[in-house]
Each structure stands twice: as structure tokens, then as C-alpha cells.
Structure 1
Amino acid sequence: MFATLAVDSLDAIAFGPAPGGTVPPAAAPHDRWLRAVALGGQGRYAAARTELAVLRRSRAGAVLDSLVASTEASLLRQLGWHRLASAHDGRALAVLGDSQAPGARAARCDAVTGLAADALGCGRLDLGFRLLERCAELLGDASPDLWRQRIRLHWVTAEMSLASGDAVQGLVNARRALELADGSPSVRHQVKSELLVAAAVSAGPDPAAAVDPALRVLARCDEHDLVPLRWAASMLLCGVAPAPRFQEVRQRAEASVVAAGGRFRES
């Protein structure tokens, strides 16, 4: 179903089995975007934004322009800047217009799902659910090439369900995302999906049951140097099983993010 990726390739780091690999330089526009995604997954925010800035100036076409804007939004959203992210996701959708170019449907789904996640972060749940419905319509009977978009749809649906108090649907969608991710080449998507499963379990009748899956996530984050997900997993653990060791992990992860150019939005 999926092509085998060389472990030192940009594809393998951005969307494959080696998310913690050394990110090679890139010159071609699409490779620069993969490089930005790979750097962002490792929490190297300043370096990722530098690649995106180069791409914005290059005007490499509507599809890549959209992916660049969606990626910029994702970096902001990871740090809590949902309102700012929505402007980039809006641009990601607008720049596509009615394009039917190769990759346009995938980019359009990325933008709409991003807007739904932004709406969630701004407390606009009704809008978020409407956007998720739109993304589901865009995907339809999606081809295997859109595996990433389908996983993201279940991620945000799980998050929206949890935010609306529906832990059951949150867990259903988180588990579906994990099932899809486990059949994909992306370790990063697998790890985030398991983190969402842990978050959904923590919202159920036995929050302590989230500890084991969260610890598995933490171990995989350490293995693959996934700093943003390490921070998120440590935050979850601090909530369900407060302990000094989890506080230390959170503090180290936060320090790594800040040192690499990330700035958390204070709540």
C-alpha cells in the first residue's frame, strides 16, 4: 500500500518511520515543505518557520502555497495560538480557489480540518463540527493517498467530542485514528493518535487508566525525539497522575521548545 521510504529521506522524517532523524537540507520547493514539517515535528520551530518563509516568497503554486499556510497554522496551534492560526488556515483554503490541480483536495482537507481545530481552540464548537462535516464530504471515499487527511479528521473529531463532553465519541474517534495510523508509514501520526486515545480515556470513568498509554507515548517520544508530543504527553500525565518526575519532563520539554524558537501562549 505504501512505498518503502529510505530512513534518511525527508519523506521518512516528515511522514514516515524516522521522525527523529537528522533533517537534510532541501532546495526544491516541495522538499523545503517536507523539511519544514520534519523540523516542526521535532519542535524546531524557528528552523521550520525559516523554511516556510522562503517558500512564501517563492510563489511555488496554489497547492504548495496552501500547504505552507496550513503548516504555519499547525505550528502556531501546537503552542496555543489558535486565533492566529485561523488566519493562516483561512489563507490556505482561499488560495486554492476552485483548483482541481493534483494535491488540491488533500490541501483543501488540511485547511478545513485546521480551521475546525482553530475553532475548537477558540471555543466555537458548533463551527468546528460544521467544518468537520465539510471535510468529511471533501474526503468522500478517499483514496489511500489521503490517509493523513483521514487521520487528522478523526483527531479533530475526537478533540471536539471531548471538548463537548462526549468522552465516548472522543474515544471512538481516537481509536479509529490510531487504527488508521498503525496502517500508515508515519510514526509521528501513530504516536499522536495513541496520545489522543490516552486523552480520551482520561475523560472517562477511570482517568488513571490513561497513565499506561500516556507512558507508552512518552517512551516513543523519547525514542524519536518528538518534543511537542513529549510536552503534550507530560501535560496529560501531570493531570491524571501528578508526580515530580512528570513535572520535570514537562519543564524540560517546554525549555526545549522555547530554546528552539517556540513561544507558548499563556492562558
Structure 2
Amino acid sequence: MSITLQSVAFGAEPGRAPLSAPATIEDWWLTAVALGGQGRYAQARAALDVVDRRTAGLAGDGDRVYASLSASTRASFLRQTGWHRKASYDDGRALAIVAGHGDSPESVAAVCDALTGLAADALGQGRLALGWRLLELCVERMHRPEGQSAQLWRQLIRLEWVSAELALAGGDFTRALGHAERAVELAAGCESLRHRVKSNLLRCAAMTGFDPGRAATLAREVFDECRSSGLLPLAWASSMLIEGVSGIATSPNSAELGAAVAARGGAFRDMSL
């Protein structure tokens, strides 16, 4: 596994470019994750295409895990641009590929990725009760012996992210803030700058229910870090939050950032339809 790819996908250098050449299936998946974090969605999907071709035969558990991770990663790209219904197809496929096919730590992690993804998809379609139930299933899987032996730092943070988002959608800012702060605590102990930044952004979103001015101020710090770290999708999301709360445009503003995402292959869903 390439240290450079790991450091971009889940480490301290999320904006690093160009990336080192991938060799293994894992490298190709890490490449897709890294490119997605930078908003290079067209290139990221092309990397996932390679993962899909190399795992097409599902010869072993490792192939099955990466086939599942490829599907759930593809779903996350769709979700980030508003296509929650389409994302649910890929997340469902991710779960079907790996569920019931072994209890290795890697399989458990992939199942949890798929379940949290499906919960986020349900949220985007207004199905909050389904979202909470899917998170409960994820927690149940984590609490099994095989789940407790897995390295689930990323899945635990994502669980708090989606919990915070579901609470926000339900208008429960207190519950949302609790989950967001837990995500911040968990992310503080990991190497992934991207996970720390997104956790802080969710905390800002939850804070809007209590102190909008403070939330906007902290969100601007997140925005600046996203810009300096090359995290274009999160820069766009933080810009949207700042403008929505304060009415003051960032520089570049959310429309300009959205256009930059679209130029890199992120096709936004028209939310007016």
C-alpha cells in the first residue's frame, strides 16, 4: 500500500497532487477516495472503474470487500452532489456484495460503510425513521465480537456524522450538537485531516440552532482550512453554510465553488425539480 496514497485519502495531505501511481486494488480505491476528497469526481469514478474490473470475479474475500467499498464510495460521490436516490442503489449493492460473506474485520468495516451510506441516502429522501433504523443496525454490527476486533475509526466517525445530520433534519439541534461534538472528539484522535474538517463543519451546522453568529465565524475557519488543504467539496459545503447563516458571501463564493466542482465531474442535482 502506498504511504502517499494513504496520506492523501486518510491522512494529513488531502490536497496533494499529483498522486503516486496505483498498483494494487487497494491503491486504486485509495486513489478514488483521495480524488473524491479533492472534488475530482470524474477521475475518482475512473479509478473506481478499475477497482470494479479487478474485482469482477469476486475470487476471494478481499475482492468482495473492495467491490463493496467501490460501490459505497461511488454512492458517496452521488450523495455529495444531491443524488441520494441514485446513491441508495450503489449503497444497497455494496451491502449485498459483502453481507453474509465472512466476518473479517475488513468485511465488518465494509458492511458498516454501506449501512451508514444507506442511512444518509434515506435522510436525503426525507425518510428519517429508516435512517435511524439503519444506524441501529450498524451499531449492532459494531457491537458483535468481530466488529469490536475491527479497526472502525472511520466508521465510528461516519456514524456520528449521519446521526448529527438526521437530528438536524428532525430539528433536534441539541441531539445534533452532541453527535457532532462526539465526531470532533473521535476525529481528533485520527490522522485524517478531511475527517477532522468535516466533523468541525457538522458542529458548526448544529451550532446554528443556538448561536448562528458563532457558527458562521467557526465555519469560516473551516472554509479557510478547506481552501488551503485542497478539499473543494467541503469548501463548497462550508461556503453554503456561511452564506445561509450570515448572508455574507465567501470568496470564492458558493456558486463559483460549485462551478469548480462541476468542472471536475460533479454533476449537481437540480433541487428545484
Q: With structure 1 as the length reference, what TM-score do the two structures score?
A: 0.94
Which of 220, 238, 241 is equivalent to 1:236?
241
Name which of 123, 126, 140 aligns with 1:123: 126
Q: In 2, are the aligned partners of 1:8 and 1:21 still within 8 Å (CA)? A: no
d(CA) in 2 for partners of 1:144, 1:97 = 16
Equivalent position of 1:209 in the other structure = 214
Q: Which has the higher mean CA deviation after the structures are superposed, 126-135 or 94-103?
A: 94-103
CA contact (8 A) 2:84 2:121 kept: yes
Q: Distance in 2 between matches of 1:213 and 1:21?
A: 25
Deviations along 1:132-167, one digit per CA (max 9) or x if unpaired, are 111111112735721000000000000000101110
Partner in structure 1 of residue 229 of structure 2: 224
Tell me the equivalent position of 1:29. 25
**Alignment-derived partner of residue 54 in structure 1:** 50
Cα displacement string for residues 20-76 of structure 1 (whole angstroms, at most 9, x for unaligned residues): 111222121110000000000000000000011111122171101000000000000
Alignment pair present for 1:153 and 2:180: no
State the percentage of identical aligned residues.
51
Is the 8 Å Cα contact of residues 63 and 101 (structure 1) preserved in structure 2? no
Aligned partner letter, 1:213: L
Cα separation, partners in 2 of 1:180 and 1:102, compared to 1, 3 Å: closer
Counterpart code for 2:239? S
1:71 alignment partner in structure 2? 73
Quick one: distance in 2 between partners of 1:114 and 1:81?
A: 12
Amino acid at match of 1:232: A
For 1:143 and 1:81, locate their aligned partners in 2 and report how far apart those are by CA, in whole Å. Answer: 34
The whole-number CA distance in structure 2 between the counterparts of 1:84 and 1:224 is: 29
Shift of 1:255: 1.6
SS at match of 2:98: coil
SS at match of 1:95: helix
1:252 maps to: 256
Q: Which runs of 4+ in 1 moved over 4 A?
A: none
* Alignment-derived partner of residue 16 in structure 1: 11
| Runs of 5+ unmatched residues, structure 2 | 56-61
SS of corresponding position for 2:269: coil
1:222 deviation in Å? 1.2
Contact 2:108/2:141 (<8 A) preserved? yes
Instruction: Supply the AA of the counterpart residue of 1:107.
Output: A
Q: Secondary structure at the match of 2:15?
A: coil
The CA distance in 2 between the partners of 1:154 and 1:97, in whole Å, is: 22
Instruction: Spell out, residue by residue over 1:185-236, the C-alpha distance to the aligned partner (whole angstroms, 9 max, x if none).
Output: 100000000000000001x132222112101111110111100000000000
Q: Does the 8 Å CA contact 2:216/2:242 hold for their aligned counterparts?
A: yes
- Matching residue of 2:138: 135
Segments of 5+ residues of structure 1 without an aligned counterpart are 1-5
Q: Give the total of aligned pairs.
A: 260
Cα distance 1:247–1:80, how it changes in 2: closer, same or farther (>3 A)?
A: farther
Report if aligned partners of 1:70, 1:110 keep a CA contact under 8 Å in 2: yes
